[in-house]
Structure 1
Amino acid sequence: MPIPEFFMGLGVRASPYEINMEKHEVQKQYFRSWVSYSIPMKPRDPISYADTVDSISYYIGYFDRGGRLIRFIKYIRQEQDADIINFSDRINGDRATYYEALRIENEKYRIGSRIDFERTEGLDAYFKIYSQNNTKGRHPYLVVTHTEFDDKYEYWPNGKLKTRTIVKSDGSRRQTFYNEQGQETATTTQP
């Protein structure tokens, strides 16, 4: 079920579909990358959210109680120059600092309260100021996080893959169906 537009400005990350948490006992894990092009994907290098602090991209895997991957999402962070008046009076310290990005309208934000990096988890945007030791200087940047792809898997009772549904950042959707032996039987694509 998509997240209503009203919630978008409240720091709720939009997703093409949600996992039914009551149906699955889901375990969430962050990853640096994945290996091979086999399906389902194979996440690699488990990390904590705090380990993503300097990452442009990262992944989240959701696993069912049997340890099977049921969802795999790639997130991309993009930094944009932030033209904020009187922002410099908020700058102090010798490491990066983070602030809430409060949505005013569409793609416009205003600065909110200072937050720890861990509180940026799940936000679609936040402000970041690099430390004075960084080559980017102490200029404010708006960091926007978006979903590059969202891959969902369903399994037959025997553990074989039943369906794979991938939604890409452009909104295109591809669904692949498999028989009970795990062999591909059909694929549908929506632009």
Structure 2
Amino acid sequence: MPEVNSNSSASLTPQYFGSWQSYQIPFIPEEPISKEEAQQRKSYYVGYYNSNNQLERFEKYLDGQLNWKDEYLYWDNGNIKSRAMIKSDGSRTVQNFDRQGRIIK
């Protein structure tokens, strides 16, 4: 079965948040805020959702600079397929998940 591919990042609309819930993959952003309010904060988060309302990218900004981001791909059943964690220095760590959403070690 095919995976759900990412939409072009240009077609995804950013949504701004003040925080996120407990550690869960993918993250669950909370405390929606406006872009203007976000830019006045020391830190904030930006989430990008696909047409299936799945979080495809989640970024943390600190002092106006990208601090880290997560990128997600999903199986066609809606479960997470992979997570790429990218730090500000460009280093990347990838986690893969089976069709049930369990991490593959």
Taking structure 2 as the reference length, the TM-score comes to 0.85
- Return the alpha-carbon distance in structure 2 between the equivalents of residues 154 and 52 of structure 1: 26
Higher relative contact order (CA closer than 8 Å, sequence separation 6+) = 2
| 1:38 partner letter | Q
Give yes or no for the alignment of 1:157 onto 2:76: yes
- Quote how far apart the aligned CAs of 1:171 are: 2.6
**Larger CA Rg, structure 1 vs 2:** 1
Alignment of 1:31-70 (within 5 A): 31-70=17-56
| 2:96 partner letter | F
Identity among equivalent pairs (%): 39
Q: Which ranges in structure 2 are unaligned for 5 or more consecutive residues?
A: 1-6
- Quote how far apart the aligned CAs of 1:26 are: 2.3
Give yes or no for the alignment of 1:180 onto 2:96: no
Alignment of 1:121-136 (within 5 A): none
| 1:64 partner letter | N
- Quote how far apart the aligned CAs of 1:30 are: 0.5
Matched position secondary structure for 2:104: strand
- Quote how far apart the aligned CAs of 1:147 are: 1.1
Matched position secondary structure for 2:101: coil
| 1:46 partner letter | P
Runs of 4 or more off by more than 4 Å in structure 1? none
Q: Which ranges in structure 1 are unaligned for 5 or more consecutive residues?
A: 1-18, 78-144, 187-191
Does the 8 Å contact 1:27/1:65 carry over to 2?
A: no
- Return the alpha-carbon distance in structure 2 between the equivalents of residues 48 and 149 of structure 1: 20
Describe the superposition over 1:79-134 as per-residue Cα deviations: whole angstroms up to 9, x where unpaired: xxxxxxxxxxxxxxxxxxxxxxxxxxxxxxxxxxxxxxxxxxxxxxxxxxxxxxxx
| Pair 65,164 (structure 1): closer, same or farther in 2 beyond 3 Å | same
Q: How many residues align?
A: 99
